[in-house]
Amino acid sequence: MKKQQNVIIGFLVVIIGFGVLVWFAQPSGEKTEENTSAPFSSSVSVLSAQEQAFDFGSISMAAGKVSKEFTIKNSGSNSITINQLSTSCMCTEATLKIGDRQKGPYGMPGHGFNPKINETIGPGEEALVEVVFDPAAHGPAGVGRIERVVYVKYNGGDPLELGISATVTP
């Protein structure tokens, strides 16, 4: 009887420990657009992009990674601070480039360390967000149509969403 109780207690400790790990692996508790909106939605803000979505068309897993640079601009009258970049899937990475400074690459929250960026963009200034997609990241199950989103979080409003899409072939 004592051994059975120890097994049950040990099992409960493991389950609780796993729950605590999952809790701490979650992104910050702030609710963002990435939790509630469809891909490629846009909102009014001072951070804008000349192009918010790009379709790579048909790409082959065998050909390797593909990339796209999006130009973002502070269209407001005050400086803004880019706080964080994140992606909607682990197969996608994003890098922020401001002049000769580069921060990243950053990925999906919960899949590695995604630190705060804290890079300032002055009024009228532009920066680049390079998005790299690895079509082989999901293996053979990853063929077909994909849509991924990069979230540019900043202190001036809702996150800016930059979307990519493609049809992945073997």
Tens of pLDDT along 134-158?
Answer: 999 999 999 999 999 999 999 978 9
Please state which CATH number belongs to domain 33-169.
2.60.40.10
User: What's this model's pTM, rounded to 2 decimal places?
Assistant: 0.72
- 81-98 average pLDDT score: 96
Tens of pLDDT along 5-29?
Answer: 776 776 666 677 666 555 555 554 4
Contacts of 120 (CB under 8 A, 6+ apart): 79, 80, 81, 82
Q: What residue segments make up the domains of the chain, in order of their start?
A: 33-169
Tens of pLDDT along 30-79?
Answer: 433 333 334 444 444 589 999 999 999 999 999 999 999 999 999 999 99
